[in-house]
Amino acid sequence: MYFDRSNLADTELLSFYRALLYPRLIEEKMLLLLRQGKISKWFSGIGQEAIAVGATLALEADEWIMPLHRNLGVFTTRNMPLHKLLLQWQGSDEGYSKGRERSFHFGSRAYHICGMISHLGPQLSIADGIALAHQLKKEHKVSLAFSGEGGTSEGEFHEALNVAAVWGLPVIFLVENNGYGLSTPVSEQYHCKSLVDKAIGYGMEGVQVDGNNLLEVYQTIRTARAYAIKEQKPVLIEAMTFRMRGHEEASGVKYVPPELFEEWGKKDPVAQYETFLREAHLLDNAGIEALRQELKHRIDEEVSKGLEPLPFAVSTHTELEDIYAPAPPALLPSGTASEKRFIDAISEALRQSMEQYPELVLMGQDIAAYGGAFKITDGLLGRFGKERVRNTPLCESAIVGTALGLSIAGFKSMVEMQFADFVSCGFNQIVNNLAKIHYRWGQTADVVIRMPTGGGVGAGPFHSQSNEAWFTHVPGLKVVYPSSPEDAKGLLTAAIADPNPVMYFEHKALYRSISGLVPDGYYTVEIGKARLIQAGEDISIITYGSGVHWAMEYAAAHPELSIAILDLRTLLPLDYDAIRDTVALTGKVLVLHEDTLTGGLGGEISAWIAEHCFHLLDAPVIRCASLDTPVPFAIPLEKNFLAKARLDQCIQQLTSW
């Protein structure tokens, strides 16, 4: 095997050997500890160390890496203390994720490593966002994301590479092709000759390397890094290697032909590099053995510290507090106010937030020159430029991942879903990456996702859904749903100011149908606080969005009833104090929403009232919701579908008690 040592001093070559040998010896120790029952699980990277080590050596220490299961060499080459890694692997509250994540599912800002999730593919577009941040800040840096050959079958692989290519982002996509995705061989994974051949389809450079040759990996990535920075373009690298152990130790290797182990055993990256050092007269057998013993001693010391039994301090308060990062206080309005439509209030909120936060980037399909499907972003491109108001390819998942990458690099972002219905294409990124990342390792996801939602406009089943309940079940998200122009502006500015991921629902039917006084200056409305629209003595209606207007119309048409109306405004977290107070006003409660009945937020609110406010009730809590069907297209069918069609019936049922 030829090792290209150009431009590398002898001291560097020796330090590279130390970096390569260290994770191998740790791996061997971990397998021993696993057999002894001292650790619970292990994903072995034996045979693949040259890729993780070579890639990390090739980058600057402050360039972000998105590693996977078998990239121990990334963590050790970034000099993360082994005893702390052991605490992490054991689930100790002294580990990097406070016991909340297993093995390598964690990240660290100090070491510029972004923790993986089990879904693998979403890591790739996070690298897009970090690279975009480097580009916006005019920094000469890259981001690097690992993938296995199995992960290239995921849609996220296509989306992330496509975004990086279209936007010209300095990203290195590094595919470790070890022949098997768990037990599935590459012959059942893809039919192209080589994965690197996919690069040409995205208009990017691609290269295949011997993943067991440390210097070839290093030199290739150094070259790719220089190219990506100079040309502002991504690179796809396929590193050919082999996994000498099972996917994880419990899965075994019975599905692998024995001759492959013999073939690849001869290509062992550590053994081959040792041969190179001997032939270059940089190290002899005695020197190799001395270094092995030194590192083994160091590992034993670290293991001894990392395996010390420590008390686990469990605090429910801390667990709940760590779901969200602290948010800034509300900024009260001042100065003049003027009449504005719902849609104009949202547009003004975006414009003023762009002025308030120079690091805010807007992304979405057709939001730039076209101004968005509903013209909400019209004019923002001319005011703030194409770097901050960005049209996106049609790939919701990658854009949400890109938004998270921007957040990791210190930016804020707003992602517009053209219709709330389309968010299903980005669901994984939202519920598994955005929502969980602060709880997992303290990283904020400073992302707002705008969701044009709801029916009443004859748009049919794929442009009219009320899907807010999908997200109210996800800890770590905030869900807001304004009903008035004043709240539409104030809640959107608050969502953008908030460092947590916020799903911002805006009802399409309200865009141009309602207006009201809205403060002209910049202000925010506190997220998590409901608003009592009107007091009443006979019944209480708890609602949000279009339901507020249905309730107000009904109350105006029935002056014989004294109706209290509570606008929730925020659906996660709920304002339980306001709910309790509204129940206490009348003792008779109707929960009204446009979403379908089964699984709608009304069920959760009703259950909470029954559990916590039973002594205040004079009647059962009644739910009024839309039919349990998709949203129909024909206007007569849609009117029958919507909860408003049953509002009078439900109120009559409630008042009859």
Are residues 153 and 184 in contact, defined by beta-carbon separation less than 8 angstroms?
no
Pairing of strands 447-453, 502-507: parallel
Pairing of strands 171-177, 235-240: parallel
Who contacts 266 (Cβ-Cβ below 8 Å, separation ≥6)? none
3-state helix, strand, coil in the chain (%, to 5): 45, 15, 40
Other beta carbons less than 10 A from residue 647's beta carbon: 20
Burial of 608 (0-12, 13-18, 19+ CB in 10 A): middle
State CA 268 to chain mean position distance. 36
d(C-alpha 220, C-alpha 237), whole Å: 9
Closest CA to 145 of 221, 212, 79: 221
Other beta carbons less than 10 A from residue 217's beta carbon: 26
Burial of 102 (0-12, 13-18, 19+ CB in 10 A): middle
Helix ranges (H only) for 244-361 are 258-265, 269-279, 285-306, 316-321, 342-356
State CA 106 to chain mean position distance. 13
| Active site annotation includes 463 | yes
As beta bridge partners, residue 416 has: 364, 450
Burial of 420 (0-12, 13-18, 19+ CB in 10 A): buried
Decide: helix, strand or coil at residue 176.
strand
Q: Please identify which residue in the block is written with the tokens 């040309």.
A: 231
Angle value at C-alpha 276, between 274 and 281, nearest 5 degrees: 95
Instruction: Name the packing angle between helices 10-35 and 285-306 (round to 10°).
Output: 50
Q: Please identify which residue in the block is written with the tokens 């059942």.
A: 188
Angle value at C-alpha 166, between 161 and 170, nearest 5 degrees: 65
d(C-alpha 467, C-alpha 465), whole Å: 6
Catalytic residue among 83, 112, 438, 463: 463
Other beta carbons less than 10 A from residue 529's beta carbon: 15
**Backbone angle region of 90, left / alpha / beta, with phi > 0 → left and psi within -120 to 50 → alpha:** alpha
Who contacts 543 (Cβ-Cβ below 8 Å, separation ≥6)? 550, 551, 565, 566, 567, 568, 591, 592, 593
**Residues belonging to the active site:** 463
